[in-house]
């Protein structure tokens, strides 16, 4: 084997061994600046972050289709080099295993988030205790931002441009004009 190939192989093995991949799952329906803050902070903690739209094809209460949500997230994270975007219809933990991710990232806003996240974390721990949940606290100014809150405001033509990424704002304006 040539020396260059050998060095390349060593580099590949090393990367495979040490790459810390975190999956940030959610509905992102639509993505908000609260989500984006968690993504940026996670991108500083992990080698790679996968923002995962986890959806259920039987769930009918979705506001934006998966393709639109993907487009909105991809545009919002386009400058973050170690962030990828994907979607999955199934258990997030299965997706994480398939993609060699050892961490699931979630954001916590208020105490009421805790109960839901606790049951989610317990289920995940039951399925695979090797996968670690990592919780990042929302910034104070983002605690009131939720996708449903944004929709409520935008549908009443309140300016939400300071709460969502630019493409989301544009799509919301078009939707409710
Ligand atoms: P889900 O339907 O899985 O809760 P969401 O898209 O609503 O999906 O949220 C994904 C994750 O982001 C959740 O962990 C949620 O608590 C967190 N999150 C949502 N809004 C904010 C925010 N404003 N600040 C920080 N974290 C948030």
What domains are there in the chain, each with its CATH number? 19-143 (3.40.50.620)
> In terms of Cα–Cα distance, which of 33, 79, 72, 29 is closest to 54?
29
H/E stretch holding 161: none
pLDDT for residue 17: 62
Residue 93 Cα to ligand 1 middle (Å): 17
Report CA-CA distances (Å) from 40 to 49, 66, 91: 9, 22, 24
pTM over 0.85: yes
Determine whether the shortest distance from the Cβ of 142 to ligand 1 is under 6 A: yes
Higher-confidence residue: 93 or 110?
Answer: 93
Integer Cα distance of 142 and 150 in angstroms: 12
Query: What positions carry a catalytic annotation?
Result: 35, 59, 109, 147
The ligand 1 atom nearest the CA atom of 142: 23
Is the model's pLDDT at 121 over the cut of 60?
A: yes
Ligand 1 atom 15: the closest Cα is on which residue? Answer: 107
H/E stretch holding 43: helix 33-45
Is the model's pLDDT at 32 over the cut of 70?
A: yes
The ligand 1 atom nearest the CA atom of 147: 7
82: DSSP letter? T
Estimate the crossing angle of helix 166-176 against helix 147-155, to 10 degrees: 40
pLDDT for residue 13: 67
Determine whether the shortest distance from the Cβ of 146 to ligand 1 is under 6 A: yes
Determine whether the shortest distance from the Cβ of 35 to ligand 1 is under 6 A: yes
In this prediction, residues 71-76 reach a mean pLDDT of 98
Report CA-CA distances (Å) from 10 to 3, 14, 17: 11, 6, 11
């Amino acid at each position: 084997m040539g020396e260059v190939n050998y060095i390349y192989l060593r580099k590949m093995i090393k990367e495979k061994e040490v790459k810390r991949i975190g999956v940030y799952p959610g509905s992102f329906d639509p993505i908000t600046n609260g989500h984006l803050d968690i993504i940026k902070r996670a991108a500083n903690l992990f080698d790679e972050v996968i923002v995962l739209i986890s959806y259920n094809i039987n769930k009918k209460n979705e506001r934006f289709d998966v393709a639109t949500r993907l487009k909105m997230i991809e545009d919002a994270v386009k400058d973050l080099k170690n962030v990828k975007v994907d979607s999955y219809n199934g258990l997030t933990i299965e997706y994480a295993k398939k993609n060699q991710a050892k961490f699931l990232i979630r954001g916590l806003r208020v105490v009421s988030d805790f109960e839901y996240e606790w049951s989610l974390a317990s289920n995940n721990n039951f399925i695979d205790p090797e996968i670690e949940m990592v919780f990042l606290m929302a910034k104070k100014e983002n605690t009131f931002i939720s996708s449903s809150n944004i929709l409520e405001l935008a549908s009443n033509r309140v300016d939400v441009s300071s709460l969502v990424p630019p493409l989301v704002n544009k799509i919301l304006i078009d939707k409710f004009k």
